[in-house]
């Protein structure tokens, strides 16, 4: 079975859980002999691990513009344009004519490079919507060029691409919901994003949700038929040995870590509040907020104004080895997410023998036994749990030991088998 998979990022060029999860899943799927995966990202850097799959960068695909058509769904998207500075127009007049022509004939103007390629940043910049639309455009070409039995699209950024591919090949579309805009925005959804999400979910033949929490959101908030939605939990990649760089621990103090984007969704302010409470009771502890995001500056000012900045550190965004270095010196890991569809990072922490506290408002709380669970807003309970794990060695030892065991049994192969079953069902349908 050939699967055409659309993602937005791929290790090592990742900004969060989405890249990690889609990569992990494909690695799991690669163990199934029947499967053959083509993974598409907007921008390929060339240093990605391609042993188990074929990676295509949408920006490397030459567009055969003569055959290019807009699918019906795409007409609902905003107009399409690409960085015009890269485009070889001869004169401004000619450019003007082109624009007029495009407007008159209800055609859309697409800027390409000399080789007929589109330009992608592959990030989350200000032209995000344009990039999503362009990605969908290239997806048609890719679907045309590459034979496949099924299309799999990861998160809303790639739904239009999945839909576009489907419009070309007519193959079943599976969309994978790693998060919804309700999680990201804390309830205040962006209508444009919601629109794309809903469109994707409705167009899909099957939907994979990363937790029951997310499954419920899909059913309730997007009005999707529950029979179409299946929960498949994420797993975690075993840590390769070379990444187990045991860092020399420079500090005697205990270290409590928050690792994730510093945004509303991740609940960083509850971590700061809990830290404040713990620091009132003990002083041989340091708190680390690893990550960046729009709330970072506010968090920094806050720690300074309550006078704990000498015990509260900010590392900025960490990736690759640094994540494991961070875990290797952590005594407690906290994920106080306000709304977390799944949450892979606690699993990574537990793999690294770090006792973990997670919020009840996370998908991963549905499957983890050996993690302390509190409500994200209950900073007293959170502080309590932190204090307990730091001061009662028997407690932390238990979580360390059984937690490690627990996550070591969560394998992407298992998740992949469930996904494979789902693939077969949809192809047979």
Partner 1 sequence: MRHICIYLQVHQPFRFRTYRFFDIGNDHYYYDDYSNESILRKVAEKCYLPANKLLLDLIEKHKGKFKVAFSISGTAIEQFKLYAPDVLDSFKALAATGQVEFLAETYAHSLSSMRDHEEFARQVSAHSELMKELFGQSPKVFRNTELVYSDEIGAEVYKMGFKTMLTEGAKHVLGWKSPNYLYCNAIEPRLKVLLKNFKLSDDIAFRFSNKGWKDYPLTAEKYAGWLKELPKEEETVNLFMDYETFGEHQWAETGIFRFLEAFPEKVLKSTDFIFSTPSEVAENLQVVSAVHVPNAISWADEERDLSAWLGNEMQKEAFHKLYDLGEKVLRSGDRELMIDYRNLQVSDHFYYMSTKFFSDGEVHSYFNPYKTPYDAFINYMNVLSDFKIRVDATVRDDKDGEISRLSKIIAEKDLSIRKYENEIERLKKQARQTRSQAPKKGPVKNTAGKTGAAASKTKGGKSGTKDPAERSAYTSTSKAGKKKEATKKTTTRNTTTRTTRGKTGPAKGSGTAGNSGKKTRGSGQKK
Shortest distance, position 242 Cβ to partner 1, whole Å = 18
Binding partner 1 (rule: CB under 8 A), the pick from 68, 102, 128, 309 is 309
Single out the segment in contact with partner 1 by CB under 8 A; choices: 72-80, 91-99, 248-256, 332-340: 248-256
Interface with partner 1, residue 319, by CB under 8 A: no
| Residues in region 279-308 near partner 1 by CB under 8 A | 286, 288, 296-297, 300-301, 303-305, 307
Interface with partner 1, residue 251, by CB under 8 A: yes
Q: How many CB atoms lie within 10 A of CB 126?
A: 9
Q: What is the CA radius of gyration of the chain?
A: 23
Contact status, residue 34 vs residue 1, Cβ threshold 8 Å? yes
Interface with partner 1, residue 366, by CB under 8 A: no
Return the closest-CA partner of residue 17 out of 255, 383, 345: 345
| Residues in region 126-145 near partner 1 by CB under 8 A | none
Interface with partner 1, residue 88, by CB under 8 A: no
Shortest distance, position 322 Cβ to partner 1, whole Å = 8
Contact status, residue 206 vs residue 228, Cβ threshold 8 Å? yes
Taking the CA atoms of residue 70, residue 74, residue 79 and residue 80 in that order, the dihedral angle to the nearest 10 degrees is -60
Nearer to partner 1, 151 or 308 (CB): 308
Taking the CA atoms of residue 357, residue 362, residue 366 and residue 369 in that order, the dihedral angle to the nearest 10 degrees is -10
Interface with partner 1, residue 325, by CB under 8 A: yes
DSSP state of 64: -
| 400: enclosing H helix or E strand | helix 393-408
Strand partners, 177: 209
3 state SS of 139: helix
Binding partner 1 (rule: CB under 8 A), the pick from 314, 317, 370, 402 is 314
Single out the segment in contact with partner 1 by CB under 8 A; choices: 124-132, 243-251, 332-340, 408-416: 243-251
3 state SS of 196: helix
Nearer to partner 1, 101 or 298 (CB): 298
Q: Write out the residues near partner 1 by the rule CB under 8 A.
A: 247-252, 286, 288, 296-297, 300-301, 303-305, 307, 309-311, 313-316, 322, 325-326, 329
């Amino acid at each position: 079975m050939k699967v055409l998979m659309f993602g937005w990022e791929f290790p090592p060029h990742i900004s969060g859980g989405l890249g990690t999860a889609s990569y992990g899943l494909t690695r799991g799927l690669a163990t199934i002999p029947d499967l053959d995966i083509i993974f598409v990202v907007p921008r390929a850097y060339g240093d990605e691990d391609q042993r188990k799959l074929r990676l295509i960068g949408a920006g490397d695909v030459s567009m055969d513009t003569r055959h290019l058509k807009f699918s019906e769904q795409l007409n609902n998207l905003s107009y399409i344009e690409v960085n015009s500075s890269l485009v070889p127009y001869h004169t401004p007049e000619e450019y003007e004519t082109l624009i007029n022509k495009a407007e008159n004939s209800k055609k859309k103007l697409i800027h390409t490079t000399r080789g007929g390629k589109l330009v992608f940043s592959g990030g989350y910049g200000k032209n995000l919507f344009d990039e999503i639309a362009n990605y969908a455009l290239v997806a048609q070409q890719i679907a045309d060029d590459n034979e496949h039995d099924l299309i799999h699209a990861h998160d809303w950024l790639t739904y239009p691409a999945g839909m576009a591919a489907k419009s070309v090949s007519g193959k079943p579309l599976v969309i994978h919901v790693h998060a919804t805009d309700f999680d990201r925005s804390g309830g205040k959804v962006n209508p444009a994003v919601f629109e794309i999400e809903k469109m994707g979910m409705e167009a899909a033949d099957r939907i994979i949700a990363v937790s029951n929490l997310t499954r419920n959101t899909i059913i309730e908030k997007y009005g999707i038929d529950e029979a179409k939605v299946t929960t498949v939990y994420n797993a975690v990649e075993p840590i390769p040995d070379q990444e187990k760089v045991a860092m020399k621990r420079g500090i005697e103090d205990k270290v409590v870590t928050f690792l994730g984007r510093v945004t509303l969704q991740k609940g960083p302010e509850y971590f700061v509040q809990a830290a404040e409470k713990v620091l009132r009771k003990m002083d041989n502890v340091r708190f680390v907020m690893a990550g960046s995001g729009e709330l970072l500056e506010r968090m920094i000012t806050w720690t300074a104004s309550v006078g704990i900045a000498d015990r509260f550190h900010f590392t900025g965004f960490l990736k690759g080895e640094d994540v494991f270095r961070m875990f290797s010196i952590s005594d407690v890991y906290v994920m106080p997410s306000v709304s977390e569809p799944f949450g892979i990072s606690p699993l990574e922490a537990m793999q690294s023998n770090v006792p973990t506290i997670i919020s009840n408002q996370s998908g991963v709380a549905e499957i983890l036994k050996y993690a302390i669970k509190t409500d994200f807003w209950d900073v007293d309970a959170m502080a309590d749990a932190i204090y307990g794990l730091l001061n009662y060695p028997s407690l932390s030892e238990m979580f360390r030991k059984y937690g490690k065991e627990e996550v070591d049994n969560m394998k992407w192969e298992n998740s992949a088998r469930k996904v494979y079953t789902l693939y077969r069902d949809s192809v047979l349908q």
